Structure formats: C-alpha cells, structure tokens
Amino acid sequence: MWKPDDLVLCAGTVLGSGFRERVEAAAAAGYSGITLWAQDWRQAQDAEGLTPADMRAMLDDHGLRIGELDGVTDWLPGPVSAGEYAVPADLFWEIAEGVGGRSLNVVEIAGAHVEPEAAAEAFAALCDRAADHGLLVHLEFLPWSGIPDLAAAVRIAALADRPNGGVLLDTWHLYRSGGSAADLTADAARHIVGIQISDAPAPARSDADAAAMMDETMNRRLPPGEGAADVAGVLRALRAAGVDAPVGVEVFSAELRDAGTAEAARRCAEATRTVLAAAR
C-alpha cells in the first residue's frame, strides 16, 4: 500500500536518466517509487538491454515501486492530435504487466477544444481498460491545453464517474492556471487521486502565452518550497480533504539537469520533506 508521505521520483525531475540510474538515485535519496514515461520503457530495453524481469528485480532489490505511468496523450475522439507527442494507451498496458504501476496519467497537450461530455466518455473507456491492469487513471490539467484548470478536469472526471478514475493535481499547473489551495473544496478534492509537486517562480508574466508557459514548465520549475506556489498550503488542504495519494516530485529544471541525476533526486527529496513537515 502507498502511504501519503511516500515520495515518487518523477521522470521530469531527472530527464535523460536511464532506468538503472533512476532507480539507484531514487533509492539513495529515500524515495518509495519512480515514474516511467513510454520512452523510458523503450530505452530500458533497447539501450540498456533490460528485460521486464530485470527491471522488476532491480526495483525489488532497491525497495521501489512504479508510481505513475506517464502518460496517454492520444485518447480524445475526433480529429484531435497530439502531433509528435501522441502516445496511445496500448503501450502502457504492456508496461503495467511488465513492472506494475499505481496509476496511468492522461493529458490533452495540443491545446485543442475539448467537449466535456465526449472527453468523459473517452476517459471512462480508458478507466475501464486500466481496471483490467489494476491501475488508477488520473486526468492532468495543463494551463495552455483544452483542459486548462482544476474545474475542467474535475468536470470530466465527475461525468466519467469511474471508481478508478480521477484527477492529478500538479502544484505548478494549479498555480499557473490561477488556482490555489482555496480551490480544493471537498467536492473538488474527492476527485483527486494523484499528486505531483514542484514550485513556480514569481510573479507570472502577465503576457505569458503557451510557448512561455511551456518553457517555464519544462526548464524553470523550482524545488517545492522555493517559489510562490504555496506547495505546503496545497498539500495541507489536500490532506485535510482526505486525499491520501503519495507525492510525486516533478521538478523540470535545466539547473537540476546540469547537476546530475543523483543530486537532482537528493535535492528535491530534501525540499519535499521540508514542505511536508510544514504542511502538517
């Protein structure tokens, strides 16, 4: 069972790391798990020569599990395309069978118009397929996307109404979409089944467009507690509302990439534990 204080080292914090390197860094820094992107799975087999059995053994040897499988971008009906970022769900069923996983992340990344009812139907279908693999499914909102904020994601999850479906709350996305801990009402929080945290520089640019936000989200996030997103306040509100998901640590940062995988994992783990203590 995952516990609320369990930390999960997200792929975005250690971009470019191989499977073995990520596992070793996560274990050394005291994480309980790691996340996997589709390309991580392919790289582990093609570049590192690891079989699924090898990966499972490595995880077991280091006391780790797989948290999020991140993520499905090609899931909406109609002529909606994620372009070069299109990732269908089928590969993730293979990953789940190979090494397990707590949850599957789903996003709309292209900025297309999204009809909530149609999206809910597609999301519900994903949840039903994921249930066969023992996975939760969470919808992550992105400020520049067709599902731009917490309210939009909650509406779709509520319409889908699946026991293994809900919303992923990323503190950077919450802050940059204009949200705050005050938005985590009981009605919203009951749909949240996943958490990812990082901090954001302040203030936000008033003229920021999708490209500017994409640059910040991929290169200039901050470790939790080092910016303006009130990460401790958000975690406090989530726990008060009964959200008991483990904490994914996702700090996309060019500075951390330059520091190396082990140092990025260590620094972000320490920052997160400080924020967790403040949230109590």
Per-residue confidence band for 51, with pLDDT thresholds at 50, 70 and 90: very high
Burial state string for 200-223 with b = 16 or more CB within 10 A and e = fewer than 16:
beeebeeeeeeeebeebbeeebbb
Q: What is the pLDDT of residues 72-127, one digit of tens each?
A: 999 998 765 566 677 889 999 999 999 999 999 999 988 889 999 999 999 999 99
pLDDT of residue 205: 59
Q: Which CATH number fits domain 7-195: 3.40.50.2300, 3.40.50.720, 2.60.40.420, 3.20.20.150?
A: 3.20.20.150
pLDDT of residue 39: 94
For 52-78, what is the mean pLDDT? Answer: 95
Where do we find the tokens 């274990």? Answer: 27
* Three-state DSSP state, 149: coil
Higher pLDDT, 77 or 57: 57
Cβ partners under 8 Å of residue 155, min gap 6: 116, 120
Please give the sequence-ordered ranges of beta strands (E in DSSP) within 109-268, or none if there are none.
Answer: 136-140, 165-170, 192-197, 247-249
pLDDT of residue 86: 78
Q: What are phi and psi of 243, to 5 degrees?
A: -80, 120
Where do we find the tokens 């073995």? Answer: 20
Where do we find the tokens 């060019």? Answer: 254
Q: Are 195 and 168 in contact (CB under 8 A)?
A: yes
277 pLDDT more than 90: yes
Using DSSP bridges, classify how beta strands 247-249 and 33-37 pair: parallel, antiparallel or unpaired.
unpaired
Q: What is the pLDDT of residues 112-169, one digit of tens each?
A: 899 999 999 999 999 999 999 999 999 999 998 999 999 999 999 999 999 999 999 9
Report residue 124 as tokens: 């519900």
Report residue 240 as tokens: 């008060």
Bridge partners of 249, per DSSP, are 9, 197
For 168-181, what is the mean pLDDT? Answer: 96
Q: What is the pLDDT of residues 201-251, one digit of tens each?
A: 986 655 567 778 888 989 999 999 999 999 999 999 999 999 999 999 999
Report residue 145 as tokens: 């996307």
